[in-house]
Structure 1
Amino acid sequence: MGNDQRDFRIEKLRTLKSEGVTAYPEKFSLNYELNEATQLEDGTSGVRVAGRIMSIRNFSKLSFITISNIQGSLQLLLKKDEIGDVPYDQFHNLLDIGDFIGAEGRIYSTKTNEKTLRIESYVFLGKALRTLPEKWHGLSNIELRYRQRYLDLLMTKETQTRLLARSKMVRAIRRFFEDREFIEVETPILQHTSSGAIAKPFRTYHNALDTELNLRIAPETYLKRLIVGGFTKVFEFAKCFRNEGISPQHLQEFTMVEGYAAYWNYEDTMELMRDMVLFVLEKTFSSTTITIQGKTINFSDEWEIASFRGLIIRDTGIDIDLYPDVKDLYQETLRKNIDLDYLDIESLGRGNFIDLLYKKMCRPHIVKPTFLIKHPIELSPLARANDQNPAVTDRFQLVVNGAEIINAYSELVDPLEQRRRLEEQAQLKNNGDLEAMEMDEDYLMAMEYGMPPISGWGFGVERLLMVLTDSETVKDCVLFPLTKKL
């Protein structure tokens, strides 16, 4: 059936060409976008618009046509006695839903008060050789929606709205930081080491240099090199790559916004991040109150601050401070019949074990915006130790509806302490912890030239959008998510 339709459309295309119609014209000058045309006063003439035909309703001597694009749609009226027999018949015999047209005419409102362009002339602007899907709305094959995202954008209002919100959100984030004198920079994606986060990298090979390289897992150590180089406030929209398992909250390729401010601490950054989230909500959704999982959350209310230890005591009854050795902590979870559902659990260091415990037992219960603080030092190899309690770091994560959406800390700027911690990470890596950090001598050398106090943050654009639009999976928040090759 599909191929018959395609052949039929190709035949129509040949007929158009034989009748002297330019099949794929160079351009069409329009003076209004479709969404602008719907706001025009009745009687406005000389209106030139263009779009894809999404519906045609035929009557005896007139037709109503809807054309659309990502920003909106407009109804057109085509009347035989106004346009002439030949263009009218040509439209009906040779044009299809999915084709592109440009039209010029006058705006009026129908009896149902719909703004409509009364066509005085139209131009054929391109043939669709395939029929647009009719049953797309009930499509249960999600993989197909991701694979053919262009159709999903054409057919699904929700997808259009969400992904337009992404663009608005990115613009708002950029404006927020620029207004506060942060300088946008770019740092390398191809790196010799995979430092800046705890994750498994993708590896690649540089032929000319004859060397193995990693795709970056975070821009952190390069942004900090810029602080060494004299920058005081920087940020980057950084494509990052993590070779991890697929889950509703993880993408292997994602966009991270990361930034640093010299002379700040993590509490300054907490304030900045709260202001940013409120600014982004206002600019993207025109409200600081949104509905997540049926619960209304007003982000302008006060945000709770909770510690790792406090949450784990609350949700499991285990005080992690009483178990400095990870083996003892593991035994205690077994005594409490807590199943952490992790294959190689005994290879985990204490920090990653505590993180797993928190993620399984605590994080799913956090709905309202909450700053999680006092992370175990083993979990934060690049963060500053707390002055009062060196076993935890001056760090926070913003958690909303069970998802971590911002990670930030007062940075470790002591090069000797940094070396000691990276050596510990290297030891964990040797013991089989695949997510432990690598040694990074080049970064350590930069640190030894001197760093001021610094606070930094990072968050994924997709994760933030996922939470704020109450999406089921982070794949819904990227235009072209990775899918398996057919």
Structure 2
Amino acid sequence: MASDELTPGEEHLSDERVVADRLAKLSRLRERGVEPYAYSYDDPDSAQGAIDLLLAKELSDPLEDDGKELWVRVAGRIVSKRVMGKSTFAHLADRTGKIQLYFRVNDLAQDYELIDLLDLGDWIGAEGKVFRTRTSEVSVWVSSFKLLAKALRPLPLGKEEVHAETGERIVHSGFTDVEARYRQRYADLAVNPEVRATFVLRALIVSALRRFLDERGFIEVETPILQPLYGGALARPFTTHHNALDMQLYLRIADELYLKRLIVGGMERVYEIGKDFRNEGLSRFHNPEFTMLEFYAAYLDYEGVMRLTEELLSHVAREALGDRPVSFGGHEISFAAPFARYTMFEALQEIGGVDVPGSTEDELRDRVRTLGFSADDVKAMGRGKLIDELFGALVEPKLIQPTFITDYPREMSPLAKPKRGDEALTERFELIVAGKELCNAYSELNDPIDQRERFEAQKRLALAGDEETQPIDEDFLRAMEFGMPPTGGFGMGVDRLTMILSGQPSIRDVILFPTMRPE
């Protein structure tokens, strides 16, 4: 354990001894009548707010001293501590930053002795006047303080130093084990302000998505997560069992079929931001539990949804980042409209070198085998799956700037309307950004007879061994038979959008508690 993580005096102790030493301090605090776990600390000022208070006074008239003391109450964690005889300096950190505290025995009398029982990571509240030290650091001259929570385990706080020539603050993290950071997100957040900033940005992104849709007449709704039949995407579900009803249920893989039921019901414009679950592998772009935005708008087709998508993403990037550029994976990405467009077959031909219309299914299978799939896996793939694998390997990684891929083969899109003028294709688009799918959208299929035929085709693929198919949903078909107006539908991974806008390389960096193997 690095000494920078510890209160002075703990450097040579083992982890167990450190915890034992802090437990002993806890007992001594209680013997002195100090409650180490407070109920409240009302209305503290933020660290940055206290600093800004002094800066504002200095800027108003730096030559005038009106004699008024600037009094503040701050609260946060102790992240550094230096005892210097009859005075002590410490830094307190909260969600806005850090501020130095100055304790002096003459001001605190017997309470000053309690400072010896404080450790790095303890939460305290402190009250006093804000001033500048001789080294010009804004600080709080503490007149009273209160222990709010005793930390029994040391945080990996790391080390901070100031560059001798430039004056730049350099932070060396004390928490470099990436797996440990994901497992112990509470510690990661506590010691890494940049991690907290990522999740603040995520919150801004979600707020901007909601604001954009709310302002355009969409209604936010909630649909079931536990479903008697999964659907709306081609993926394997998680299954569970409801004891009281003695029935198998599935965690939803998409929100689509329930949201379209609401369109049938006349709600016309609906959206949901919520968790979906897919029983698939983990990668830097995939987590089994993830957040999706789906919206459906009556009377729009996929062209209308494309225009709305350009407006939405331009709005969110601007709201979340302001004038800062979007930088991801070494690329600067622009969400300024219009985005580039290719049809699926154009992209495969021009970028991937595959002539799909001119290839037989056996020829496509041969190309897919060259990608490393086993013969058995390839044998179970239908034409749509073969095209999807070729696109994912040969085209998708090369699309960095936002690019619409349109007009997918019918076999790949069991819920999309046929393309006008070519029944073998569908009115569907995906938006690819930074080499990965970000959005998926359709002119939604609203012909219940056609929909049943598509479901039946999916069932045949399932019987042939494909585990990622759309089962027949009789209740959804019944809803469609009541009549669904022309509708444009849209789905987007909120986690992937956050990765791109925050520049984070892994989906685990933008999910607070990602799925992990057991320790």
Identify the TM-score tier after normalising by the shorter chain: over 0.9
After superposition, what is the alpha-carbon deviation per residue over 1:50-100, rounded to whole angstroms, capped at 9, x for unaligned?
11111113333322221223332222222222333x222211x10100111
The residue identity in structure 2 corresponding to 1:339 is L
SS for the counterpart of 2:467 is coil
The residue identity in structure 1 corresponding to 2:50 is A
Residue 61 of structure 2: aligned partner: none
**Count of equivalent residues:** 480
Q: In structure 2, how many angstroms separate the alpha carbons of the residues matched to 1:68 and 1:252?
A: 34
- Pairing partner for 1:212 from 238, 243, 248: 248
Residue 105 of structure 2: aligned partner: 80
The residue identity in structure 1 corresponding to 2:43 is L
The residue identity in structure 2 corresponding to 1:50 is A
Q: List runs of 5+ in structure 2 lacking aligned partners.
A: 1-13, 58-67, 159-171
Q: In structure 2, how many angstroms separate the alpha carbons of the residues matched to 1:126 and 1:332?
A: 62
Offset of 1:328 from its aligned partner? 3.2
Contact 1:103/1:119, CA 8 A, preserved across alignment:
yes
Contact 2:157/2:175, CA 8 A, preserved across alignment:
no
- Pairing partner for 1:5 from 15, 18, 36: 18
SS for the counterpart of 1:132 is coil
After superposition, what is the alpha-carbon deviation per residue over 1:354-402, rounded to whole angstroms, capped at 9, x for unaligned?
1110111111111111111111111111111111112221111111111
- Pairing partner for 1:449 from 482, 486, 490: 482
Q: In structure 2, how many angstroms separate the alpha carbons of the residues matched to 1:287 and 1:299?
A: 12
* 2:148 paired with 1:125: yes
Residue 262 of structure 1: aligned partner: 298
- Pairing partner for 1:394 from 400, 424, 427: 427
SS for the counterpart of 1:269 is helix
The residue identity in structure 1 corresponding to 2:354 is I
SS for the counterpart of 2:351 is helix
SS for the counterpart of 1:67 is strand
* 2:388 paired with 1:355: yes
SS for the counterpart of 2:470 is coil
SS for the counterpart of 1:392 is strand
Q: In structure 1, how many angstroms separate the alpha carbons of the residues matched to 2:264 and 2:295?
A: 14
SS for the counterpart of 1:3 is helix
Q: In structure 2, how many angstroms separate the alpha carbons of the residues matched to 1:184 and 1:65?
A: 47
Q: In structure 1, how many angstroms separate the alpha carbons of the residues matched to 2:310 and 2:19?
A: 53
Contact 2:352/2:391, CA 8 A, preserved across alignment:
no
Contact 1:340/1:360, CA 8 A, preserved across alignment:
no
Residue 412 of structure 2: aligned partner: 379
The residue identity in structure 1 corresponding to 2:507 is V
For the aligned residue pairs, the C-alpha RMSD in angstroms reads 1.8
- Pairing partner for 1:330 from 365, 383, 389: 365
Q: In structure 2, how many angstroms separate the alpha carbons of the residues matched to 1:292 and 1:413?
A: 38
Offset of 1:288 from its aligned partner? 6.2
Q: In structure 2, how many angstroms separate the alpha carbons of the residues matched to 1:412 and 1:301?
A: 27
* 2:280 paired with 1:244: yes
Offset of 1:333 from its aligned partner? 5.6
Offset of 1:49 from its aligned partner? 1.5
Q: In structure 1, how many angstroms separate the alpha carbons of the residues matched to 2:191 and 2:146?
A: 24
Contact 1:62/1:77, CA 8 A, preserved across alignment:
yes
The more displaced of 112-121 and 193-202 is: 112-121
Offset of 1:440 from its aligned partner? 0.5
Q: In structure 2, how many angstroms separate the alpha carbons of the residues matched to 1:112 and 1:182?
A: 55
Residue 262 of structure 2: aligned partner: 226
Offset of 1:31 from its aligned partner? 3.8
Residue 45 of structure 2: aligned partner: 32
Contact 1:399/1:405, CA 8 A, preserved across alignment:
yes
Offset of 1:346 from its aligned partner? 1.6
The residue identity in structure 2 corresponding to 1:362 is V
SS for the counterpart of 1:465 is helix
Q: In structure 1, how many angstroms separate the alpha carbons of the residues matched to 2:229 and 2:474?
A: 9
SS for the counterpart of 2:52 is coil
Contact 1:289/1:299, CA 8 A, preserved across alignment:
no
* 2:113 paired with 1:89: yes
Q: In structure 2, how many angstroms separate the alpha carbons of the residues matched to 1:198 and 1:424?
A: 13
Contact 1:30/1:50, CA 8 A, preserved across alignment:
no
Offset of 1:183 from its aligned partner? 0.5
Contact 1:403/1:467, CA 8 A, preserved across alignment:
no
Contact 1:70/1:153, CA 8 A, preserved across alignment:
no
The residue identity in structure 2 corresponding to 1:250 is H
Contact 1:281/1:287, CA 8 A, preserved across alignment:
no
SS for the counterpart of 1:247 is coil
Residue 345 of structure 1: aligned partner: 378
Contact 2:79/2:157, CA 8 A, preserved across alignment:
no
SS for the counterpart of 1:364 is helix
**After superposition, where does 1:396-435 map in structure 2 within 5 Å?**
396-435=429-468
* 2:124 paired with 1:101: yes
User: What is the TM-score with the length of structure 1 in the denominator?
Assistant: 0.95
After superposition, what is the alpha-carbon deviation per residue over 1:302-348, rounded to whole angstroms, capped at 9, x for unaligned?
3111121112112332211123x5223223566xxx42446612211
Contact 2:126/2:145, CA 8 A, preserved across alignment:
yes
Q: In structure 2, how many angstroms separate the alpha carbons of the residues matched to 1:67 and 1:363?
A: 47
The more displaced of 109-118 and 250-259 is: 109-118
Residue 319 of structure 2: aligned partner: 283
The residue identity in structure 2 corresponding to 1:100 is W
Residue 196 of structure 1: aligned partner: 232
After superposition, what is the alpha-carbon deviation per residue over 1:102-130, rounded to whole angstroms, capped at 9, x for unaligned?
11111223455433222111111110011
Residue 137 of structure 2: aligned partner: 114
Contact 1:46/1:106, CA 8 A, preserved across alignment:
yes
Contact 1:78/1:118, CA 8 A, preserved across alignment:
yes
After superposition, what is the alpha-carbon deviation per residue over 1:120-172, rounded to whole angstroms, capped at 9, x for unaligned?
11111110011112569265532211110111111223322212211111111
Q: In structure 2, how many angstroms separate the alpha carbons of the residues matched to 1:61 and 1:396?
A: 70
SS for the counterpart of 1:321 is coil
Q: In structure 1, how many angstroms separate the alpha carbons of the residues matched to 2:424 and 2:449?
A: 17
Residue 184 of structure 1: aligned partner: 220
- Pairing partner for 2:210 from 131, 152, 174: 174
Residue 29 of structure 2: aligned partner: 16
Structure 1 residues 333, 218: CA separation in 2 closer, same or farther (over 3 Å shift)?
A: closer
After superposition, what is the alpha-carbon deviation per residue over 1:168-215, rounded to whole angstroms, capped at 9, x for unaligned?
111111111111111100000111111100100000001111101111
* 2:154 paired with 1:141: no
SS for the counterpart of 1:320 is coil
